[in-house]
Amino acid sequence: MDLRTPHRIALLIAVCSALAVALGFAAFGRFHGLSHAWLPFAILGPVTGAATYVIAVLLIRRFVQDRVDLIHRTIHEARTGTSSTVQDLDPLGRVNEEVVAWADSKRTEITELKERERFRREFMGNLAHELRTPIFSIQGYILTLLDGGLEDVRVNRDFLERANNGVERLIRIVEDLDMITELESGVMAMAPACTDLERTVDEAIESLEMLAREKKLILRNDLDEGTLVLGDHDRLLQVFVNLFNNAVNYGHEGGLCTVRSFVVGDHVRVEVADNGSGIAPEHLTRLFERFYRVGKSRSRNEGGSGLGLAIVKHIVESHGGTITVDSTEGKGTTFAITLPKYK
């Protein structure tokens, strides 16, 4: 007999009980010489079997119900993180729903963990590469000086200046890493106030004037006077410095980078557009990742930390704004920022 269902188990118990009663009465009648011992068997056997069957079914169902309720509560508490006294008329169906939902959530968590692990490995690899370049460069200059270059005045000064440039680059990487960590963790709080964007952009242009002049690139501020936003002046200044620096590094000689703005509802949309070499579509989605570079060797030669655009994104989002990028190869790139308008 198949014992996989409660009804079949109960039926087996009932048959055994009926046979036990029958055999008992048969033995009793034979021992006492009763001629009609079969009559109690005929009556009590079926009655005992039926009663035993009903009782067995109820007990088995109750046993299973208690276990199912326990599983249900355990899964429910694991999902919600709270104690539960859930009662359900259809516990098996409810448990199935809970298990399916729980499995889906775990699959999502596993996917997220794998993505985080991929990002961690990539970040550590990029960080090691960014640090290795200036460190090896500094080491090379120092070894050259130790091997006799120190005695040559022309050589030692040149190599010491190059080693110093490598040290300064390391400092920039560490400072940018520290800043982006503070931005991500919320340690670096913004100090929003009425900020004149036209003035802020002018300051950013002045800070990069010499570098832009060397590249023969024009940085132009087309913002209207009195373009006011609610923001932290120092942090927004860094946003525009980083964007202008990006335009200078990737712009061509005689190029132009323009800043303009539009009022859109309760926000100000600021566009920083250049007519440089542009960015291929496959790079756009990853442009704001830490250490991601479009032209790796070229941007490293420019001395950047590889964190500029990542910092820009975090600062803008910390202001409750957004940043997007649109680019066409051979025509240029436009960064569009939205910031809350000062009311």
Strands 256-264 and 267-274: antiparallel
In the chain the domains, ranked by start, together with CATH numbers, are 6-87 (no CATH), 119-185 (1.10.287.130), 193-340 (3.30.565.10)
Tell me how far CA of residue 186 lies from CA of 179, 189, 314, 318, in angstroms: 10, 6, 10, 9
Strands 332-340 and 267-274: antiparallel
Mapping DSSP onto H, E and C, the string for 306-324 reads: CCHHHHHHHHHHHCCCEEE
- pLDDT 10s digit of each residue in the chain, 343 long? 444 465 666 666 666 666 666 666 566 555 555 555 555 555 666 666 666 666 766 666 666 666 666 666 666 666 665 555 545 545 556 666 777 777 777 788 888 888 778 767 766 776 776 777 778 888 888 888 888 777 777 778 888 888 888 888 788 778 877 887 777 777 777 888 999 999 999 999 998 888 888 888 999 999 988 889 999 999 999 999 999 988 888 778 888 999 999 998 899 999 999 988 888 888 888 888 887 777 654 444 555 567 888 889 999 998 999 999 999 888 889 999 999 998 7
Question: In terms of pTM, does the model score above 0.95?
Answer: no
